[in-house]
Structure 1
């Protein structure tokens, strides 16, 4: 059982027992209320939360797809831009080297002074070059300009030299070679006047290329580097540092243009991979440009936002559950109270019917017993008179004592029947001659202290010449008291109450009670005399006062009307017959 249900049961069950289980069972059992309470909470929570959760999940899926698509596009764009930068870097230096070979020729390039001059000019024009050399077709270096002592070195077994002889130009992988420093070789092949070929080689610094790649790195969650076709790292990698110097993801398949895809690396993390195979206009290369981004890092902002949305959704759901539980408890409690009041009202109606039946029975029994009691009483009195007159019985005290006992018993039975008749007459009108002005004065006296305290002016205009009324004192007093009480509750401090009475023809008297209180709306005016209808705040009225007053007026064969306007006041007019007994006979 939930906390909300427990609180509801604790609040309702004591009153359920106090208000009478037998009568309330005519409408709903306690189990019915618990089922209504539970079903109400279930339906309201389902109606409120299910669409919210479904919409949130759909929103998450749409956002996830959108982010995945955007991540692929962004990664592919970064890889494409970096590919163009690397390709341009290599093409620019290959073109410069080709132009130099075509312009200078073999004889000028083999001049050490001229070669150093060319190297210096290339450094100034393009940068990133370390040294330059001329190599014969046999692989022997015949001229060298640079900081290393490489004169006479043989490169005939170097892969880059063989590729250059085969393809007229080449771009090597990054390797250390004789100088034991990572570098890239760009070389072009040309022909001497005697028909023999030679190769002009230039060495590129890797730092310049690494800096170019680093400029495209988009954050700590991203890595950009070069690998060869076997997956061997050519430039440093942030994510793939290992003794084997290989990246731990598979080499992507060949594609002529830049591609991107989502994968899972060896550690189980989702990554976004963008790659491009590097090829210059002059010659292809063995480089593959790799852009790797960790998906968790890319989605950090979205994950933080989703976490906040989840917290907001959880708190909203919690508030909805609490509000729905409290609202359902309040509504079911109100239904229970209404049914309880209805049950009590039915019980009271049943009791009143029983009392009325008892009253009628008592009246019948009293009338039936009174007749033989009267006969017994007269006979006993007559016998006593006879015994008193005759000397035979006059001096017999025991006989006279028995006669007195009979008379005393008859009187006692008479008293009982009179009490039964008094009980029965409580349900009937008991007419008395009443001076209306005195009765109004008596009622007003009950409110004098309150009127003085609240500065309420009470004006009574009832002429002494007004005819006396033949009616039930108690009922008329209750009518006036109810109307005056109602007026005092409707008016504010400093207002007034006007009571007037006038003769209404020869047979009726009209009593008017007017106040300048808040007034009654036209809608409520039609229901003013309905039982349990009230415009007062909860706990300040039962809604029975005016309905009881209406019933009492009808009981006295009178009529009551009301006229009211919002903000101006209310006037009740009670018209009563001067002689209620004649009205009854009529």
Structure 2
């Protein structure tokens, strides 16, 4: 079954490796034109598509670079804004504690009722505070205001308490502590009248801080969270929740500036990362704010646009390729047609030159033979006249019969020489109506005895619908006789000869002469009409029969072709006009 691909290939593939009659062209080969066709397509494809591909790739690279640069700037700006919000959140509460401890002093803050009142006011003013407590320099909690039962707890070993002694204020990491609830401790250090210090400590709710960070998220592809200096998560993360809550991102060295870099996550996907170290004016912290954006999410609009561009480019490339292929096919086929016509013209010119040379030779031979034939004819006639005068010779019938045989032989030689002269020069065509069926029968009658002797079956099929042919009788008879003689020489005893005819439109008739003889090799088919070319053994043929036939067919404004396969037989097809007068009209 023929596939769609094979049909398309047959439609566009250059059909230039054979002549219209199916025989190979002796002057051009399939490989030559196929190489030209392929080179034309390659050059045109390269010229048309390569610049387009290069420009598209450069455009993609520039767009991706621009998007990366813009993404880093946006990530850095987002990290910077979130950093200011977190810093302000912590500084605001540290400042409130500093103001409270400076204004109220140790004595008033250790009053449980007054401390509870202060906590209530701080919640109303700032929010986010859970409890408030005063801790002595020994680390023991002296006074507590809040929902938990933490009076008397010892904080002397807590990191935030130690840090507060050193820096006069501190912000702890997020931890659970005694209350088993994640929280942040902010504390400030102050002095008692007796020279000893105490610490005012407040607990901050992490939900408020998480809400502050979440407000800066710009989409599902953005993650914003806090980690400590060891990479341990301090606030929830969308992408990095896992074992021990550690992020698998390399942390940069400390910097007071916000940074942004392009990297990849654990799955190899490109991401943009923004870093910002959180430090307040009152106390240092161990927080690092991180903004992580997935590049695919940031580039979704561009990726959609690129997909559309790719589709447009692909369809355009296919259309360009089809146009180039079809155009190259048409152009190379036209080149082939021109080259083939040129080759055919050269073949015809070469054959005409050969025929002209043979014609000149035949004219010379005929002229030279005609002179002695005329002498023989004249002498034989004179001898016959002498025999008719003397009675002793007239009574000898055998002698007169021999003289008549000489005269008949001379007449036959004269006919042959006239045919040679007819091959050498063009006589005026003698046009008359001819019954093709009757002429074929007359020719076959000459071979009936040989056919019976060799057991050759002759089948003639000339329909009554074949119209009479207006052409030259002698030349047509010679054509049929030559082809039948050629067939009898090619077939063995017991073979067959098939002669049939059919109309080829209203103005032409085709005559088929087919045998099942030895056939003609394919590489000899384009030479069978050349003078002196023969496949017979030496001494059994001159190679002039088919060349003379070819010339006679051309004189009758017809055409002759041959189809043959070795071992299967040969078919000669002669196409002649029904009325030759239409062909000779100017």
TM-score range, shorter chain: 0.5 to 0.7
CA distance in 2, matches of 1:139, 1:20: 110
Match of 2:19 among 15, 25, 34: 15
Give 1:280 shift: 1.2
Give 1:48 shift: 4.3
CA distance in 1, matches of 2:157, 2:407: 158
Check 1:401–1:293 CA distance in 2 against 1; reply closer, same or farther (3 A cut). Answer: same
Q: TM-score, normalised by structure 1?
A: 0.63
Give 1:226 shift: 1.1
Alignment-derived partner of residue 158 in structure 2: 158
When the two structures are aligned, how many residues end up with a matched partner?
A: 432
Check 1:145–1:376 CA distance in 2 against 1; reply closer, same or farther (3 A cut). Answer: same
Alignment-derived partner of residue 337 in structure 2: 337
Which secondary structure does the structure 2 equivalent of 1:184 belong to? strand
CA distance in 2, matches of 1:139, 1:57: 67
Check 1:20–1:348 CA distance in 2 against 1; reply closer, same or farther (3 A cut). Answer: farther
Q: Please tell me whether the aligned partners of residues 19 and 344 of structure 1 are also in contact (alpha carbons under 8 angstroms).
A: no
Alignment-derived partner of residue 101 in structure 1: 101
Check 1:391–1:194 CA distance in 2 against 1; reply closer, same or farther (3 A cut). Answer: closer
Which secondary structure does the structure 1 equivalent of 2:413 belong to? helix
- 2:232 corresponds to 1:232: yes
Structure 1 residues 407-416 or 121-130, which shifts more? 407-416
CA distance in 2, matches of 1:390, 1:248: 143
Alignment-derived partner of residue 65 in structure 1: 65
CA distance in 2, matches of 1:163, 1:412: 142
Unaligned runs of 5+ in 1: 432-473, 475-551, 554-573, 575-586
CA distance in 1, matches of 2:377, 2:256: 136
Q: Please tell me whether the aligned partners of residues 223 and 238 of structure 1 are also in contact (alpha carbons under 8 angstroms).
A: yes
Alignment-derived partner of residue 222 in structure 1: 222
Check 1:406–1:83 CA distance in 2 against 1; reply closer, same or farther (3 A cut). Answer: same
For 1:341-380, list aligned pairs within 5 A. 341-380=341-380
Give 1:201 shift: 2.3
CA distance in 1, matches of 2:326, 2:171: 78
**Once the two structures are superposed, what CA deviation does each residue of 1:274-314 show, in whole Å capped at 9, x if it has no partner?**
11111112222121111223344444555555566556656
Unaligned runs of 5+ in 2: 431-471, 473-583
CA distance in 1, matches of 2:13, 2:286: 80
CA distance in 1, matches of 2:203, 2:100: 15
Alignment-derived partner of residue 532 in structure 1: none
Q: Please tell me whether the aligned partners of residues 4 and 326 of structure 1 are also in contact (alpha carbons under 8 angstroms).
A: no
CA distance in 1, matches of 2:266, 2:362: 102
Alignment-derived partner of residue 87 in structure 2: 87
Check 1:430–1:225 CA distance in 2 against 1; reply closer, same or farther (3 A cut). Answer: closer
CA distance in 2, matches of 1:204, 1:181: 11
Which secondary structure does the structure 2 equivalent of 1:224 belong to? strand
Give 1:75 shift: 1.7
CA distance in 2, matches of 1:384, 1:151: 171
Check 1:425–1:121 CA distance in 2 against 1; reply closer, same or farther (3 A cut). Answer: same
Structure 1 residues 223-232 or 377-386, which shifts more? 377-386
Which secondary structure does the structure 2 equivalent of 1:115 belong to? helix
CA distance in 1, matches of 2:31, 2:290: 70
CA distance in 2, matches of 1:311, 1:52: 14
For 1:162-173, list aligned pairs within 5 A. 162-173=162-173
CA distance in 2, matches of 1:59, 1:127: 52
For 1:448-487, list aligned pairs within 5 A. none
Alignment-derived partner of residue 183 in structure 1: 183
CA distance in 2, matches of 1:386, 1:222: 136
Alignment-derived partner of residue 203 in structure 1: 203
Which secondary structure does the structure 1 equivalent of 2:261 belong to? strand
CA distance in 1, matches of 2:329, 2:176: 82
CA distance in 2, matches of 1:364, 1:256: 117
Alignment-derived partner of residue 119 in structure 1: 119
For 1:391-470, list aligned pairs within 5 A. 391-426=391-426
Which secondary structure does the structure 2 equivalent of 1:32 belong to? helix
